[in-house]
A and B are shown apart, each in its own frame.
Chain A
Amino acid sequence: MKVNEALKVIDEGWLRKPKGFRVHFQKQVDSEWVIEYAPGEKEKALDSDVVAWRLAWKLSEAAKPDKTEIKEDDLINIYVVDDLGNPIKHYASNQFEILNHREIES
């Protein structure tokens, strides 16, 4: 196998380089739960997971629901996803984290 071919195998199999990151969250609109992203799906994604997680944290602090009741403006189940929509691990803990985690009826 040539070196170039070997490198190609490594690039495809070892670590995937995401093309961008978005913050995934859920909010209540007209009594229905909708999934939204920041930046939006039609906008350009963030190129840094550090920035994405920082944005996620700020959103979680700003729109934190009360202990019992969730209002219209509250954002729940906040985490960062890659360009394929897959959740990514938090860069600090290397674990999957969900901010403002709530179980909701689908």
Chain B
Amino acid sequence: METQFEKYKELGDMIQSHGQDFIIALIILVGGLIIIKHLNRLLKHILERFTLKPQMIHTVNNIICIILLFLIVAVALEHLGMATIIIRRVLFLISLAVIGIIAVFRPLIPTLPFKVGDTIKVENLLGKVEATTIIHTRMKTFDGKTVFIPNTKILNDFVINYHFTNTRRIKIDVGIRYDQDILKVKQILEALMVEDPRVKAKPRPVVYVLNLAKGCVDLGGRCWVNNAKYWTTRCDLIEKTKLRFNQEGIIMAFPQLEVHHYHGDTSPGFSGEGNHMSGLEVK
């Protein structure tokens, strides 16, 4: 009982003599961590103004934050009264080692081929990346579903990153009947693409005759737009194509079957073994 009392008394004395220092050191540490967090964001904004790769920005940011963290820890420990020279040497060596590991080995560490905010497609899942962790990537689909994809699946599969390049090509494929004016259709389609402010002037929009298919002539309009404008521009161009074709009297093709039915003596002669369908010709 007495020994316990003595222990409590010792603890009380220690808190009385060093308690204030502990609290101040804790305040320095917590305050420093908050400052580092805000500085991290500010630094990221500043570095993004320079045309550096995102990985480089991330690496430089991490290095500066680690140095600041160790400085804050050193100040906190110094305030507690620990031997400063030894602390500084140890922290200096540790920080050098960490910086070296990050700078040298970071490019070798497999990274995900996208960053938060990118629109990606993995297998049949299309959505926006909301967060990445060591284990999985959180993605939100455009119909509101949240999907957690294991990073191993991403690293071992094809991934389409729609934000990797700034522009994307739009395809406007139409099929017109054989009796329609191809040149007129090409002019209309090209004019629709050229007139749209979102369509890039270079590469120039073009219209190709893709195929002389069964029942229709396939034409394809190709133009380039910024990634962010891809979907709305594509939908607008398709709508305008259909309406402009209506207005110009251009008839689009649809799958159809011509059936010629012959009666009696007017039927053409059928040849070929096993043909039991007299009087009918199907094209």
**A and B assemble together:** yes
- CB of B133 within 8 Å of the partner chain: no
Residues of the A chain whose Cβ atoms lie less than 8 Å from the Cβ of B194: 14-15, 17
B281: Cβ under 8 A from any A Cβ? no
Report the Cα distance A17→B199, complex, angstroms: 9
Which residue of A18, A47, A49, A94 is within 8 Å of B247 (Cβ)?
Answer: A94
- In the bound complex, do residue A20 and residue B236 qualify as a contact, i.e. CB atoms below 8 Å apart? no
CB-based contact B240/A91 at 8 Å: yes
Interchain CB contact under 8 A, A50 and B247: no
Contact (Cβ within 8 A) B236 A94: no
Prevailing SS type, chain A contact patch: loop
Instruction: Give the distance to chain A from B167, nearest Cβ to Cβ, in Å.
Output: 15
Within the assembled complex, what's the spacing in Å between the Cα atoms of A93 and B204?
A: 26
Q: Which of B197, B239, B243 contacts A17 (CB 8 A)?
A: B197
Encode B220-241 as 1/0 by CB contact (under 8 A) with A.
0000000001001100100110
Which residues in B have their C-beta under 8 angstroms from that of A50? 236, 239-240
Instruction: Please provide the chain A residues from 81 to 96 with a CB less than 8 Å away from any CB of chain B in the complex.
Output: 91-94
Q: How far is the CB of A50 from chain B (nearest CB, A)?
A: 4
Q: Whole-angstrom distance from the CB of A78 to the nearest CB of chain B?
A: 20
What are the residues of chain B within 8 A of A91 when measuring CB–CB? 239-240, 243-244
Q: CB distance B229 to A94 under 8 Å?
A: no
Distance (whole angstroms) from the CB of A42 to the closest CB of chain B: 19
Query: A11 at the A/B interface (Cβ < 8 Å)?
Result: yes
> How many angstroms between the C-alpha atoms of A51 and B195 in the bound complex?
15
A92/B195 in contact, CB under 8 A = no
The complex places the Cα of A100 from the Cα of B247 at a distance, in Å, of 23
Q: Are A94 and B244 in contact (CB under 8 A)?
A: yes
| B191 interface contact, C-beta 8 A | yes
Instruction: Please determine whether B243 and A92 come into contact, CB atoms closer than 8 angstroms.
Output: yes
Q: Shortest 8 CB-CB distances between A and B: which pairs?
A: A92-B243, A50-B236, A91-B240, A15-B194, A94-B247, A47-B197, A47-B198, A48-B236
- B binding-site residues for A, Cβ under 8 Å: 191, 194-199, 201, 204, 229, 232-233, 236, 239-240, 243-244, 247-248
